[in-house]
Amino acid sequence: VGVDGTETCEDANDVGPEPCADGHDLCGFWADEGECASNPGYMLRACRRSCRVCGVPRSESRRTAAVDGTDAEETAFVLDAVSAYGEPQKAEGSERHATLNVAKMTVSYMRNFVHAPRPTHSMSESVKASCRNRHELCSFWVALGECEANPAFMVTNCAPACRSCHKIDFDERCPKRDGDAAPGLRP
């Protein structure tokens, strides 16, 4: 910590200390809204202090780790953030970039919809608590379109990734008929 109160991030592969500061006045607000995970490409560079990545090495290998343009620091941050909502997710192979995008959307959905400070919806606490990715490949499967292809499994077992937490409640998934409604098919 410097005399002026700023922290520095040092790495043997970087030239000199890098100030641990935010490059925009709204970094703190954006970080509180979940943007470090939703928009890590910008936030992890411009809002290092608010995203709490000071001291995280920024070596050349971390900046250029991925062919698809997603650096290792961003990947690690997103995968760590999404692990708060169930099984840690894997993002590998040819669908890595799409899987990471799903993970980013999952974090945004969970923070800004399911666990929003002032929600615009109603969801019971038990539904919120049970809304978890129950398999490490949920984000990958969503990237492949499995929420639509295999909804019976996906909407409840990969609810955060499918953005379907509200469907965990059976009555929401299968609403009761009105008393005067007749079945559409007869046995």
User: What would the two tokens of residue 62 be?
Assistant: 């971390």
6 Ramachandran zone, left/alpha/beta (phi>0; psi -120 to 50): beta
SS3 content of the chain, % helix, strand, coil (to 5): 50, 5, 45
| Phi, psi angle pair for 27, to nearest 5° | -55, -45
The pLDDT of residue 12 = 30
**Domain definitions of the chain by residue range:** 1-63, 87-175
Nearest CA among 108, 152, 160 for reference residue 132 = 160
Quote the pTM value: 0.62
DSSP H helical segments within 57-144, as ranges? 60-63, 72-82, 96-109, 125-130, 138-143
List Cα–Cα distances, 78 to 13, 25, 26, in angstroms.
Answer: 24, 23, 21
Q: Give the pLDDT mean for 41-52.
A: 84
Asked if the model's pLDDT at residue 77 lies above 50, the reply is yes
Distance CA 161, CA 20 (A): 32
Do the beta carbons of residue 55 and residue 68 sit within 8 Å?
no
pLDDT at 117: 85
Q: What is the C-alpha R_g of the chain?
A: 21
Instruction: Note the pLDDT tens digit of each residue in 83-138.
Output: 999 999 999 888 999 999 999 999 999 998 999 888 777 888 999 999 999 999 99
Query: What one-character DSSP code corresponds to residue 134?
Result: -
The pLDDT of 136-154, averaged and rounded, is: 96
Between residues 134 and 184, which one has the greater pLDDT? 134
Chain centroid to Cα 111, Å, comes to: 8
Contact 103, 78 (CB under 8 A): yes
